A and B are shown apart, each in its own frame.
Chain A
Amino acid sequence: MLKIIKGKAFVYGANIDTDQIYPGRFLDQTDPEAVARHAMEGIDPDFVREVTPGDIIVASTNFGCGSSREHAAVTLKAAGVGAVLAASFGRIFFRNAINLGLPVLVCPDIHSRTKRGDVLTVDLATGQVRNETRGLVAQAEPLSDYIINILASGGIKPMIRRSLAHES
């Protein structure tokens, strides 16, 4: 079952690239806890200090554009981010996030109506987004069954692990 995600919003603009989400100079780090220490460092040095589990990133278009680095999804997930809502996503970041079990939803209608610190809830099953602070509701594009299945499994790794065990 997919849970409701609730957390405070961190709001960013358009074209937040993977170098801003996770600067290239830290790419030799591999431990998720070490990777988490540099989340959003290229655009928001306060992020790591302020983020708490379940918090939600809200962005305009093309969030996660740029490099293929899975670190960009790892850093957000390991930092405790509960979901990312953006008007659109960079293609590889989107796949990476879903693979890791980090919910990413296309929601064009929330960015302009949300301020940093607003409390949001996201219903992954329906795509409904509520800004509890301002009493607003927005609708994200519903996730496909394929993606919901990955998220409900906790990411693609447990799915593949299970299918390999099943084959052998």
Chain B
Amino acid sequence: MHAIEKILARAAGKESVKTGEILNCTVDLAGINDLYLQTLRSFSEMGGSKVHDPGRIVLFLDHYAPASTIAQADNQKQFREFCREQNIKLLMDVDQGVCHQVLADQGLVYPGQLLVVTDSHTTTHGAFGAFGTGVGATDLAIIMITGKLWFRVPEVIGIRLDGKLSTGVYAKDVILKIIGELKADYATYKAVEFTGPALAQFSVSERMTLCNMTTEMGAKTSYIQPDKITEAFLSGRVKHPYETVFTDSGYVYAAEHSYDISAIKPQVAAPSSVDNVSDLAAYAGRPIDQAFIGTCTGGRVADLAVAARILAGRKVHSRTRLLVVPASKSVFLEAMNQGYVQKLVEAGATFVTPGCAACLGTHQGLLASGETCITSSSRNFPGRMGHARAEIFLASPATVAASALEGKIADPAPYLA
């Protein structure tokens, strides 16, 4: 069995499982985001009165942190009341940040865990050897009522990474390259595992970016076998006991791909599809109105660090505004301790409360018709960050910072030599 199958088998109380099998699994931790009051509605509509296990539920007030409309405020109020009524202690209020970063920072995710959140980017937690997957509100409400949910055991696609990253190239460039080649629906219903010697040079932060973006290939979950890098991150954070599982030799992947990352240059996904990917060079010089660094894809300490390195002692171009959103409170605090925040603010950055912010076009930095944005986030769909006739380019945090500096799409490598 694959490690992913072993996680599902344990959660279903079975010795072994097969690809395609439908399992009813006990969910270790289930998370709800503030966008989805429907979760609480579905809970009552299905006759739920008491949450099955309040210790396995976590609420995140992250997408509307803090509320920008009365409707958002009212939804968040109902979530807070629900937590009090149901004795749910894990309420991550508007000071905490994006759910996926908060789960990592606070040691709530661990190898072998079955983690389900009402957020599509729950694939991020493959970086820790967990089975993370996103569901809708009603599926989550079923978990709240029964503690369980059905899953189909997915096929697994193996992606092997060899080589060494060039200066100015990051995990974001690698995953954009992969999505550009394999396309946005390549892994639908399937799992994606990253393997290969190149992983040794990817920090947990960079692994989270790889796994996070597998959602944009349609993946149901993703996986990286936990190693010394993972353990160093988890040690001292995770209180829950866990057991790391390993894939049996002889496991047959549904497909296998191999990439020499040495050959990858800075990438951009051009409007309006995540798989519309080219070398940055094809769009170099395109004027930029807004540059955005943040989110569960590209708003971690290392992301702010490289932006600070590029922008320290310099100024954001006069035609461009730079928004920076630390992914979480911990990220924000560490970026302050390291002096990144001061450097970025002095360079002209506008800081936004940790959370999802403008990534999904709800508040705090929306785009006007005809504007162009370059962002370290995950999606460039029409209307994603504001007006449907705004154009969004996806890139690495370093590329976003270099582009903010030049006021146009720019390669970060010259600033990092």
Contact = CB atoms under 8 A, between A and B. Distances in A.
A76 B239 CA distance: 43
Contact of B383 (A20, A28, A71, A164): A20
B244 interface: no
A105 to B, nearest CB: 15
A125 to B, nearest CB: 21
B22 A90 contact: no
Contact of A24 (B42, B72, B135, B362): B362
Interface in B222-262: none
A28 B64 contact: yes
A157 B46 CA distance: 5
Point out which of A17, A42, A161 has the most chain B C-beta atoms below 10 A from its C-beta: A17
B38 interface: yes
Please report whether the interface of chain B is mostly helix, strand, loop or mixed according to DSSP: loop
A5 to B, nearest CB: 22
Contacts of B146: 160
Point out which of B36, B134, B138, B379 has the most chain A C-beta atoms below 10 A from its C-beta: B138
A162 to B, nearest CB: 9
A107 to B, nearest CB: 15
B118 A68 contact: yes
B142 interface: yes
B383 A156 contact: no
B217 to A, nearest CB: 10
A29 B71 contact: yes
A47 to B, nearest CB: 14
Given A95-B136, A96-B136, A66 B46 contact: no
Interface string B183-202: 01100110000000000000
Contacts of A165: 47
Given A28-B71, A30-B37, A68-B119, A88 B185 contact: yes
B185 A160 contact: no
Interface in A1-55: 14-15, 17, 19-20, 23-25, 27-30, 42-43
A15 B189 contact: no
A20 B35 CA distance: 17
B382 A19 contact: yes
A24 B361 contact: yes
B351 interface: no
B283 interface: no
Contacts of A17: 379, 381
28 contacts: A15-B273, A19-B360, A19-B383, A20-B383, A23-B388, A24-B360, A25-B361, A28-B35, A28-B69, A28-B362, A29-B71, A62-B218, A66-B120, A66-B381, A67-B360, A68-B36, A69-B36, A70-B138, A73-B136, A89-B188, A92-B134, A96-B137, A99-B136, A156-B46, A157-B45, A160-B142, A164-B48, A164-B145
Closest 10 CB pairs of A and B: A96-B136, A62-B185, A70-B136, A28-B71, A24-B360, A24-B361, A160-B46, A70-B137, A68-B134, A19-B381
